Structure 1
Amino acid sequence: MAKTRHLLGISGGKDSAALAIYLNDKYPQFDFEYYFCDTGKELDETYQLINNLESYLGKSIKKLENPDIDSTGDNPFDFYYKSFRGYLPSPQARWCTALMKLKPFENFVNGDDAVSYVGIRGDEEREGYISKEANIQSIFPFRKNIWSSDVMTKVFQPENFEMVIDYFQSYYSGNDLDKLVDIFNEPISFDKNHKNEAEKILKRKANSSLDLGIARFNRGVFDFLKTTKYPLAKEIDYVLLENEDVLVRDDIFRILRESGVGVPEYYEKVEFEVDGQKGEYARSRSGCYFCFFQQKIEWVWLYEQHPDLFKKAMAYESEDDLFTWIPNETLKELIQPERIKQIKLGHINRTNKTKTKSSPYLLDILEGTERDGCNTCFL
């Protein structure tokens, strides 16, 4: 029987880097395979982070390549950009995600049973990347609930109730077992017409069950998985079942700094002044420097901190075809002095309204867009 592979993608972002460090230090028994999907349009800080990580981990991070692209002399983005005849990727047409991230990853897995470790934090509400391939299972070590939503759907399927509860009886008894049964008995419909409501109920069921004890809930789920075709069904035991750590943004920055790997410079806030008012900006994400999920203040950051890259981003736009990175606004229009002033003042006002004394990170202000976008790019 082929061995299950344990894979961890390095995006160049803070969360995936911290996850690699955390798991390496806490669970040295894992034989992780680290990989990086290079679009050819990353910031220099991304490559520096990867070099630092390789030194810390004592292991190489495999760059996933496409031989068909390599033979053309183009980098991945330019190859596909030409293939789409200048049609830029967008939230509605994320060909960049599909072709430069997911396709290379699934080719790398090559049909093997694999567990993919994803750095969604305990203070985030979003769900991470879940492959449609049955041989790839996602695990989220930073969260209270390490299991993906597809696993939770199977666990809480009403038709699986008797079988699942039978497994859980090995870990629950008395009042706790009664409480667990009540949680499972809460009505839920997985009809596609009630998707949003089902997601809310599913999350509530999972959280309520975990409140009765994280480790024993995990053990019950793990026993149930033995009846499925998930990659972890092959494992005799799994050390993360006992892990009750929940890591948030402050923990991520601490891990990066204490390890010596360091925080990518683009996360560090930079001061600016406009109309006598002082503000700060930074970048909220890893990934391509021209990512269309950026806030407009981040585009201004790119223009002022990396003018050469901003100029290259402008060159991809076509005003005649309405192919622009930002809907209804070209980068040429965005960098007009009055427009930059307007964007900066708006950012200062939003920051003053939402900034809290509990966190020193500007990223807390930018987190709205940090949670948007491609989960495989920005972890």
Structure 2
Amino acid sequence: MSKPRHVLGISGGKDSAALAIYLNDRYPNINFEYYFCDTGKELDETYQLIERLESYLGKKVLKLENEELKSSNEDPFDYYYKSFRGYLPSPQARWCTAMMKLKPFENFVKKDPAISYVGIRGDEEREGYISREANIQSIFPFRRNIWSNDVLTRFFNPENEKAVADYFKNYYNGKRYDRQLDILAEPIDFNRNNKTATEKALKQKINRSLDIGIPEFNRTVFEFLKTTEYPLATELDFELLDNEDVLIRDDIFRILRESGVGVPEYYNKIEFEVDGEKGEYARSRSGCFFCFFQQKIEWIWLYEQHPELFKKAMQYENEDELFTWVPNESLAELIKPERVKQIKKGHIDRSNRKKSKSSPYLLDILEGTERDGCNTCFL
């Protein structure tokens, strides 16, 4: 197996941009390849961020597209929108993700072994995109646990218990070693019918093992990987094994500001007022300006801050066929004055409830939408 490539997708959002800066500064010896899957429907701020990032990194961010688009004069979204005969993408039919994100990415990597670096933060509870291709391995540098669940499912499989116990010997001794053996011996059921229980047990094992020592645990997993077909199996060492950093949302904004790359304008909150009550709105994500995962308050933000783009989004809807961006409601209905007022008031109420709970995520005022949606698009 050849040496793995180190690839990092730039979505145009804050997390992937901060990850590129963080890894570039901390691990200058790794030859990172940066790529961007352009849908043709991004906000201008996305392209501006990528330009500033290229300047900081001293490297181009490669724009990916599928082969069939090269002979077309259309942007990716419009090309596939017509191919799907006007059927809008949705959470249930994410052809936009499949055709404009995953396909060009996997064509870019081909069959080369590759480490894909993913910008999921330490304050997020989600796994992120894991390729089904065996030659692509995901790593999560911002998290306490850098490994993906597919790796750790194999690591903690009872069939591998004896081998893993031997690997632990190389990095633990005494009571610390005994504690790892106890964790390893705890029963875990990998029956597909008990998926929730399995995930809970796996998470507990991971966290308890990390409590005993992060670098040691990482090096044990790394030794185990040498018996597998994962891309890291051929490496003599991996620089991130000793990294104990856990980066959260505040850290992301700090990295972007201190680097000079800056934060995309659409994250900046804008104040509005309804019946004497004040609220704030912003965009919670990168990606297409008409992303179906965005919440209704974000649609109102788009309508008021980028009316020309809102009109373009309306043109894709077909109410007769019930093809609308928002389920059971067209954008024309969404922007009726009373409806706008209702959405804004509801958003103020939800924001106030979060503040009253002293949430550690008060910056995420958009109903937690930053953690929803397509993991591939919004990393």
TM-score scaled by length of structure 1: 0.98
Identity %: 76
Q: Which amino acid aligns with 2:325?
A: W
Q: Distance in 1 between matches of 2:94 and 2:172?
A: 45
Give unpaired runs (5+ residues) of structure 2.
none
Match of 1:188 in 2: 188
Confirm whether residue 151 of structure 1 aligns to residue 131 of structure 2: no
Shift of 1:355: 2.4
Which residue matches 2:73? 73
Q: How far apart are 1:362 and its partner, in Å?
A: 6.5
Q: Find out whether 1:15 has 2:51 as its counterpart.
A: no
Contact 2:66 2:103 in 1 (8 A): no
Change in 2 beyond 3 A, CA 1:294/1:340: same
After superposition, residues 22-171 of structure 1 pair within 5 angstroms as 22-171=22-171
Aligned partners of 2:350 and 2:367 also within 8 Å? no
What value does the CA root-mean-square deviation take over the aligned residues? 1.4
Q: Take 1:341 and 1:62, find their aligned partners in 2: how far apart are those partners?
A: 42
Aligned to 1:4: 4
Whole-angstrom distance in 2 between the partners of 1:336 and 1:22 = 44
- CA deviation profile, 1:4-32 (whole Å, cap 9, x unmatched): 10000000000000000000001100100
Pair 1:37–1:207, CA change in 2 (3 A): same
Q: Which residue of 2 aligns with 1:251?
A: 251
**Distance in 1 separating the partners of 2:111 and 2:92:** 29
Which amino acid counterpart does residue 18 of structure 1 have in structure 2?
A: A
How does the TM-score come out when normalised to structure 2?
0.98
Q: Is the 8 A contact 2:11 2:287 kept in 1?
A: yes
Q: Which residue of 1 aligns with 2:172?
A: 172
State the SS of the aligned residue for 2:195. helix
Separation of aligned partners in 2, 1:306 and 1:362: 26
Tell me the equivalent position of 1:220: 220
C-alpha contact (below 8 Å) 1:284/1:363 kept by paired residues:
no
How far does the alpha carbon of each residue in 1:217-242 deviate from its partner, in whole angstroms, 9 at most, with x for none? 00000000000010001110011000
The alpha-carbon distance between structure 1 residues 171 and 102, as it changes in their structure 2 partners (threshold 3 A), is same
Count, aligned residues: 379
Deviations 1:198-220 (A, max 9, x none): 11111110010000000000000
* Structure 2 residue 199 is matched with structure 1 residue 199: yes
The 2-side partners of 1:186 and 1:248 are apart by 31
Indicate if the aligned counterparts of 1:280 and 1:362 stay in contact, CA closer than 8 A.
no
Other structure's SS at 1:35 match: strand
- Tell me if the contact between 2:3 and 2:235 (Cα under 8 Å) persists in the aligned partners: no
Q: Aligned-pair distance for 1:372?
A: 1.1
What secondary structure is seen at the aligned counterpart in 1 of 2:320? coil
Per the alignment, residue 275 of structure 2 pairs with 275
Report the equivalent of 1:302.
302
Offset, 1:364: 1.5
Report runs of 4+ in structure 1 exceeding 3 Å deviation: 356-363
Name the aligned partner's letter for residue 70 of structure 1.
K
